[in-house]
């Protein structure tokens, strides 16, 4: 029996990665952060993988947070290193050249919300709860929570969530722009896989270009972002997929993208 904290499955170009620590509500310890980093590096390099779906095992939690028992013993230097460890992994996810969908099946608190926010899209069950409760532990978010919340939902909501530590329901998270969709819990997996299949059938090089443009644009000025987008737009004209897509449109047929 594997000791890995992850369960990984492939089907139809979709790789599902489930954090599997149900007795800890899938809390993120150092070993889990390292396993996720390796899993996403592998997904990036595997040409058969078009889309990644990230979720948590069990009905209760996506990820309930970082592992408090492990953090309780850390020194200040070790605490900083733990933060950087998680931040590096989440930047890998954020910069993955393939779409990553967070399937938020329950609690996404602290490090769990931070992990969901670094994914490109988030679909939540209507029963899910999200939040940054670190203040209740005498801590602050350490895996990018203050920064990604700020970019997703603005200063006022970020300060409310971080300063109070109070969790919010999925519908409020949708209103704030933290998640993209909310569906009944029973429909979460089929709805997520439906979206994943749609993306898996799309032109992978165009998807990569869009992800690159949004990542660059979120971290630079408008002029630089527009220049980068124009360059990426030109590059896709060199792809077989662009010729296939435009020819299929003109021929009134469904395109078949090869990722070339």
Known catalytic residues are: 114, 134
Cα dihedral: 185, 186, 188, 191 (round 10):
-140
Nearest CA to 149 out of 131, 135, 137, 122 is that of: 131
DSSP state of 26: T
Q: What is the three-state SS of 121-188? A: EEEEECCCEEECHHHHHCCCCCCCHHHHHHHHHHHHHHHHHHHHCCCEEHHHHHHHCCCCEEECHHHH
Measure the CA angle with vertex 18, ends 193 and 260; round to 5°. 55
Q: Identify whether the C-beta of residue 138 lies closer than 8 Å to the C-beta of residue 74.
A: no
Q: Identify whether the C-beta of residue 116 lies closer than 8 Å to the C-beta of residue 99.
A: no
């Amino acid at each position: 029996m594997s000791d890995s904290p992850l369960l990984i499955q492939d089907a139809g170009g979709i790789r599902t990665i489930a954090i599997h620590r149900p007795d800890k509500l899938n809390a993120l310890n150092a070993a889990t952060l390292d396993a996720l980093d390796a899993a996403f590096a592998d997904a990036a390099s595997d040409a058969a993988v078009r889309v990644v779906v990230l979720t948590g095992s069990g009905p209760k939690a996506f990820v309930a947070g970082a592992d408090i028992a492990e953090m309780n013993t850390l020194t200040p230097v070790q605490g900083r290193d733990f933060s950087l460890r998680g931040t590096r992994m989440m930047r890998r996810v954020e910069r993955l050249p393939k779409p990553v969908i967070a399937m938020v099946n329950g609690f996404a608190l602290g490090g769990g919300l931070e992990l969901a926010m670094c994914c490109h899209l988030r679909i939540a069950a209507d029963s899910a709860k999200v939040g940054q409760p670190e203040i209740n532990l005498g801590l602050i978010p350490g895996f990018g929570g203050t920064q990604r919340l700020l970019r997703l939902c603005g200063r006022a909501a970020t300060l409310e969530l971080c300063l109070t530590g109070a969790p919010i329901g999925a519908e409020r998270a949708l209103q704030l722009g933290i998640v993209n969709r909310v569906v009944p819990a029973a429909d979460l997996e089929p709805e997520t896989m439906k979206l994943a299949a749609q993306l898996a059938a799309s032109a992978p090089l165009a998807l990569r270009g869009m992800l690159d443009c949004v990542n660059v644009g979120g971290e630079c000025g408008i002029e630089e972002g527009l220049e980068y987008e124009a360059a990426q737009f030109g590059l896709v004209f060199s792809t077989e997929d662009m010729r296939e897509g435009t020819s299929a449109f003109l021929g009134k047929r469904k395109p078949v993208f090869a990722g070339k």
